[in-house]
Structure 1
């Protein structure tokens, strides 16, 4: 027979499973994110993935033929940065609700977030779990009303 204590633990496990499913769905959606930018005069168009990896480079017009190599290289680099910024914004939109207050995805991806802001030494948890961690299973928990 299931006790209220056992039901509390099962409820916490169910919450954990749901959070894992939500995290997997968020990860799937992040993997689908792309950012695309086009340089002025449409000299180059760049698409990047969620991690900023370049997935496509196109030259929509013949304008690049009239550019000096350095000018083309600069346009390409600037367009890649713009596409990466767009992808990062999209990822931020997908994940902003899952992060603690004051922590942004942009800062996280740039390595500017203290890991303790996300995973504190003393994480928030229900009182029942804290009591169990501190004191173990209560005496008579199996027969609690």
Structure 2
């Protein structure tokens, strides 16, 4: 015979497993993602991968040939940053639909999202809050502030 607490724990674990699978699929999608940004003057086009690493810099038109070196350098840096920012925002949008509200504030910058860290945090939250509430409720107690 199973207890109500056991059933609740099994349900919580099943939901946790479903969320983990969904996030793993999103992580794989993010790994395959590419984002390309072209500078406003169309002189430079930068592509970054799902981890915001630069994979390509192209010069679609010959405008770069007549640009002063400092201007060209600044344009390259600005375009790379714009591509990284756009890639991070696109990744966050992919995750936002599947993330619990408490996890949606994670910063995707600096190398992408760490799914394992997200699950560690979720497990701690579940252990601290939901599981604690389940155990306290099962004992007839509850949280006392």
TM-score exceeds 0.5: yes
Structure 2: distance between partners of 1:45 and 1:54: 11
Match of 2:28 in 1: 28
Structure-2 change in CA distance of 1:101 and 1:10 (3 Å): closer
Structure 1: distance between partners of 2:126 and 2:16: 19
Match of 1:43 in 2: 43
Match of 2:134 in 1: 128
Match of 2:113 in 1: none
Residue 82 of structure 1: how far off its partner (Å): 0.9
Match of 1:70 in 2: 70
Match of 2:114 in 1: none
Residue 99 of structure 1: how far off its partner (Å): 4.7
Structure 1: distance between partners of 2:90 and 2:37: 14
| TM-score of the superposed pair, with normalisation by structure 1 | 0.68
Structure 2: distance between partners of 1:40 and 1:12: 49
Structure-2 change in CA distance of 1:7 and 1:105 (3 Å): closer
Match of 1:54 in 2: 54
Structure 2: distance between partners of 1:17 and 1:129: 20
- RMSD (Å), alpha carbons: 3.3
Structure 1: distance between partners of 2:92 and 2:77: 22
| TM-score of the superposed pair, with normalisation by structure 2 | 0.68
Structure 2: distance between partners of 1:52 and 1:29: 14
Native 8 Å contact 1:38 1:46 kept in 2: yes
Unaligned runs of 5+ in 1: 136-145
Match of 1:104 in 2: 105
Residue 22 of structure 1: how far off its partner (Å): 1.3
Indicate the SS of the match to 1:123.
Answer: helix
Indicate the SS of the match to 2:130.
Answer: coil
1:14-61 C-alpha deviation (Å, 9 max, x unpaired)? 222212111211211222333221123321100112322101111101
